[in-house]
Amino acid sequence: MGYTGYVVNNAEKQPYPNVPVQIKKIDVGQGEDSWILSNENKLYNWNPFKRTFLFKRDHVLDFAVGLDGTIVYIDKHNNVHIRDSNKAWHIIYTSEYYEILSISLCDYKTIFLVDGYDDLIKGVYNSERDEYNWDLPVQGSFKQASCASHDYSLWVIYSEYVYLYINESKKILRAEFRFEYIKALSEQHAIGIDLEKRLWEYSNGTWTWIRSNIKSASINYGDEIYYVDNNNEIYKPKN
């Protein structure tokens, strides 16, 4: 694994003026389909016509945006919600006995959760029954999962280190330092924020440092990175 640096001056401020809240997390899908979660656990979506973020849902603990425009989130009662093509919300999973801490998806067909016991939970859509089948494939030490929509590979933070997950007995180490967040597009392309709040991009075996003092970051399906700095400003590096 190699490590390189990125010229910070190549960052440009995005046209997201007057962000109405303090941002906890950003995630992006296609084009300008940008979503933010506030410190007050409110979910907002960027409206390109009104040029502002519009409130969508309350009591949101974590959320994720898929390649196909699917939005999923966890509420404070440990229910998992999904938005359908008509923009209606439905509960697809409920946990009565343990917390659900994080969520990721490839698209509406495949969703991953990490629970309060650090177990990995997989949900697969059953089209015949119009519901999700949930399975607990692996137990213990997971902090986050990221399903790569380009090839359905699975990246995980396991005991704070980043791995490409193959199966229960095989994981490939992707970084020699610890991370708190990752988002993957494929086996060879991902971004991550380490425990020092530094943003990195992984491409074909090399980690490239992008920026320090980062609160949150995402990468859309056109390979464009978005990040939120400590001043609550949203940026995108120039290509």
For residues 14-38, average pLDDT: 88
β-sheet with 154-158: strand ranges across = 142-147, 154-158, 161-167, 170-173
Does 237 have pLDDT greater than 50?
yes
What would the pLDDT profile of 64-100 be if each residue is shown by its tens digit? 998 888 999 999 999 999 998 888 999 999 998 899 9
pLDDT of residue 197: 97
pLDDT of residue 3: 62
Please give the share of the chain, as a percent, with pLDDT higher than 70: 93
Q: Tens of pLDDT along 164-181?
A: 999 888 999 999 999 999
What pairing do the DSSP bridges indicate for beta strands 52-57 and 60-65?
A: unpaired
Q: How many domains does the chain have?
A: 1
* pLDDT(152) > 80: yes
Q: What is the CATH number of the domain that holds 22?
A: 2.130.10.10
Measured CA to CA, the distance from residue 83 to residue 81 in angstroms comes to 7
DSSP at 42:
-
Residue pair 142/184 in contact by the 8 Å Cβ criterion: no
| 215: nearest Cα among 227, 224, 223 | 227
Minimum mean pLDDT among 15-24, 75-84, 103-112: which range?
A: 15-24
For residue 25, the model assigns a pLDDT of: 98
Tell me: pLDDT of 137 over 90. no
pLDDT in tens, 115-128: 999 999 999 999 99
**What domain range includes position 138?**
2-237
Q: Does residue 216 have a pLDDT over 90?
A: yes
Question: Helix, strand, or coil here: 9?
Answer: helix
The whole-number average pLDDT for the span 211-220 is: 95
